[in-house]
Amino acid sequence: MTITHATGYAIKDAKDYLNFELTKYELEPLEDDRVTVNVECCGVCGSDHHTISGGWGPWETKFVVTGHEVIGKVVEVGSKVTEFKVGQRVGVGAQVGCCGKCKSCKGTNENYCVQPVHGYNTKWYDNAEHQGGYSTHVRAQERFVFPIPEKLASTDAASMLCAGITTFSPLVRNGAGPGKKVGVVGLGGLGHYAVLFGTALGAEVTVFSRSDAKKEDALKMGAKRFIATTEGFEKDLQFEFDLIIVTASSSKLPINELLTTLDVEKKLVFVGMPEDGLSNITSQALSGNAAALASSHLGNKQEVLQMLKLAEEKQVKPWVNVLQMKDAAKAIQAVEDNTVRYRSVLIQDIEA
């Protein structure tokens, strides 16, 4: 018998965005290529806060159940699903569907689909609403469901599916590995993964931060160097880095200065999302070393699988705080207060 409803912690009003109400709602249909997952735990992402507080604009759905770092068990599969079986432990990240028809989808860039279906506050092509993982169940296209390697704890794997892959994909697409120098700007949930995975891939990682406050943590995570971005910090670093990943979401970052620390034709990949634009980028700052300012969105399936395998093999252990799902408001408040060290994960507590 097909599951028709989920129960989740919903926000009903962006002005009252810490008021999670346990709510029963209809799931999107179980189509041929979809998998239903019974949620075991779910990571808490900065996007959750941006969305429920209305910081990224009005909602697409009537209410919002956030959560796009889901680990759980397969409880149903559509008739054409070949990759998964009921009972299998899987993950679902910040994208649950793609059109399957565009150039990106036909290749291996489904994460750059022209019309992606995101992890929550989103509608499918037939207008059915999709909600996220602060809940009992989520549904996703098979292409966006990932088997979880046995040795990875669910609470460790959860946040890899958004924060992890968001940094892992630009790392591997830009050649991070032995002999390469990678700069990571900002040490939050994303930044800490950039350090962990950059190091696991064999690159030499340098963390840039506004102050020395997180220096000890950065070095524990595997960074070789920590640089506070005070006046003139870039002077001794010209042409130094093969890649810089900016995980901070401020628009006041010293981007032009950071750009000059890149070696020739290398990229600064912005994965933070400041609500205002990146002002004052000068073509002069980009031309002295042919630097590129780029961004990135999640990763493709191959990269997610590669990341999970590497995490298992190299025992990559994220720094997570585990809470009950009913404490979602506490977790969101910690995001707002910038006190998360370095990711929160919510454990299922909704009675079946």
Residues that bind its own copies (CB under 8 A): 102-104, 107, 109, 112, 114, 170, 173, 238-239, 263-265, 267, 270-274, 277-284, 286-297
Residue closer to its own copies by CB (options 153, 292) is 292
State in angstroms the smallest separation of the CB of 340 from its own copies.
Answer: 21
State in angstroms the smallest separation of the CB of 195 from its own copies.
Answer: 20
How far apart are alpha carbons 71 and 39 in whole angstroms? 6
**Are 226 and 205 spatial neighbours (Cβ–Cβ below 8 Å)?**
no
**Are 152 and 128 spatial neighbours (Cβ–Cβ below 8 Å)?**
no
Amino acid at 253: L
State in angstroms the smallest separation of the CB of 239 from its own copies.
Answer: 6
Residue closer to its own copies by CB (options 182, 346) is 182
Between the CA of residue 88 and those of 73, 94, 166, 333, what are the distances in Å?
5, 20, 25, 33
State in angstroms the smallest separation of the CB of 113 from its own copies.
Answer: 9
Structure tokens at 231: 């006046």
Residue closer to its own copies by CB (options 121, 296) is 296
State in angstroms the smallest separation of the CB of 259 from its own copies.
Answer: 9
Quickly list DSSP for 164-230. Answer: HHHHHHHHHHTT-STT-EEEEE--SHHHHHHHHHHHHTTPEEEEEESSSTTHHHHHHHT-SEEEE--
Residue closer to its own copies by CB (options 53, 295) is 295
How far apart are alpha carbons 226 and 215 in whole angstroms? 6
Residue closer to its own copies by CB (options 99, 350) is 99
Residue closer to its own copies by CB (options 289, 333) is 289
State in angstroms the smallest separation of the CB of 270 from its own copies.
Answer: 4
How far apart are alpha carbons 317 and 321 in whole angstroms? 12
Question: Residues with Cβ < 8 Å from 179, sequence gap 6 or more?
Answer: 202
